């Protein structure tokens, strides 16, 4: 047997089979990907998500800094999306009841978790997402995404605190392009 001929035949055979394998891979891989994508699309329905003022797929949580006694008092609306009050007052009525008072009336809440207030006798949930260390500025909104506001103790808040509140609202899924500055 001539080893040089064997090596030549072996090389030619290998080149032909490798070329066939490469040609097969070129059309099998995209075909397999298309079949996989079609199977996933057919079995997984797309969720029906309505995005209004807030993206409901983004988690929403109250601030762990929330302190009912320190949060109590007068607040002015600095910026708002949705239907918001121009001013709000929070009061501890009892250990279990927290009151939110606006020009439209008074609403009782229970504190379900830090920064999460559940309406007593109703379905609303008010979420205090952020408050600065001095309890001067806050980012609040309802859990259903109907409204959000940046509140401050004064009508002319610090620009840096308003910027921080906007960032918190954005982080919690609110469309901050829809925030209107209060007059």
CATH assignment of the domain containing 79: 2.40.128.20
Rounded CA gap, 87 and 101, in Å? 9
pLDDT of residue 52: 77
In a domain, 160, yes or no: yes
In a domain, 51, yes or no: no
How many structural domains are present in the chain?
Answer: 2
Chunked mean pLDDT (size 10), the chain, 183 residues: 56 58 59 57 55 89 96 97 94 93 96 96 96 97 95 93 97 95 81
Buried b (16+ CB within 10 A) or exposed e, 145-155: bebbbbbbeee
In a domain, 96, yes or no: yes
pLDDT of residue 27: 58
pLDDT of residue 182: 84
In a domain, 34, yes or no: yes
DSSP 45-78: PPP----SSB-TTS-----TT--HHHH-EEEEEE
pLDDT of residue 101: 97
Question: 112 and 169 share a domain?
Answer: yes
User: Which domain range does residue 173 map to?
Assistant: 68-181
In a domain, 15, yes or no: yes
In a domain, 166, yes or no: yes
Rounded CA gap, 47 and 141, in Å? 24
Tokens (6 digits) for 76: 């002015």
Question: 170 and 85 share a domain?
Answer: yes
Question: Residues 20, 28: contact at Cβ < 8 Å?
Answer: no
Question: 146 and 76 share a domain?
Answer: yes
Question: 38 and 87 share a domain?
Answer: no
In a domain, 55, yes or no: no
Question: 80 and 41 share a domain?
Answer: no
Whether pTM > 0.75 for this model: the answer is no
């Amino acid at each position: 047997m001539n080893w040089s001929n064997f090596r030549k035949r072996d090389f030619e055979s290998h080149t032909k089979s490798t070329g066939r394998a490469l040609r097969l891979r070129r059309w099998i891989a995209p075909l397999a990907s298309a079949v996989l994508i079609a199977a996933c699309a057919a079995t997984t329905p797309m969720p029906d998500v309505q995005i209004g003022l807030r993206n409901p797929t983004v988690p929403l949580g109250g601030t762990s800094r929330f302190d009912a006694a320190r949060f109590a008092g007068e607040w002015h609306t600095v910026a708002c999306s949705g239907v918001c009050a121009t001013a709000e007052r929070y009061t501890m009525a009892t250990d279990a009841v927290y009151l939110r008072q606006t020009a439209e009336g008074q609403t009782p809440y229970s504190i379900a978790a830090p920064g999460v207030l559940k309406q007593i006798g109703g379905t609303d949930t008010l979420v205090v997402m952020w408050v600065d260390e001095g309890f001067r500025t806050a980012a609040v909104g309802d859990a259903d995404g109907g409204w959000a506001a940046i509140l401050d103790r004064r009508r002319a808040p610090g620009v840096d605190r308003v910027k921080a509140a906007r960032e918190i609202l954005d982080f919690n899924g609110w469309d901050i392009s829809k925030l209107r500055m209060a007059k």
